[in-house]
Amino acid sequence: MPYVNIKITNEGATAEQKAELISGVTNLLQKILGKNPQTTVVVIEEVPTDNWGIGGESITTRRRAGK
């Protein structure tokens, strides 16, 4: 019954990659904590780079600066 929320920047993750992530995280929770995969929920949120900051700067700014 776990709930997992994954936030990433919206830089082109494909449906296949997201499916792999959903299945991988669900497996981990079963393997490590014995959680039932049938009620494990995974929600992926893709965030524009203007809306994500680290080190006090947006990812848009960091990408421009080559960071």
- 11: DSSP letter: S
Assess whether 37 carries a catalytic annotation. no
CB of 56 to a second copy, least distance (A): 4
Residue numbers 4-63 binding a second copy by CB under 8 A: 4-9, 13, 15, 17-29, 32-33, 35, 37-47, 50-61
Cα separation of 9 and 27, whole Å? 24
Q: Taking a C-beta distance cutoff of 8 angstroms, is the pair 29, 40 a contact?
A: yes
Residue reference for tokens 């700014």: 61
Q: Which residues bind a second copy (CB under 8 A)?
A: 1-9, 13, 15, 17-29, 32-33, 35, 37-47, 50-61
What residues are annotated to the active site? 2
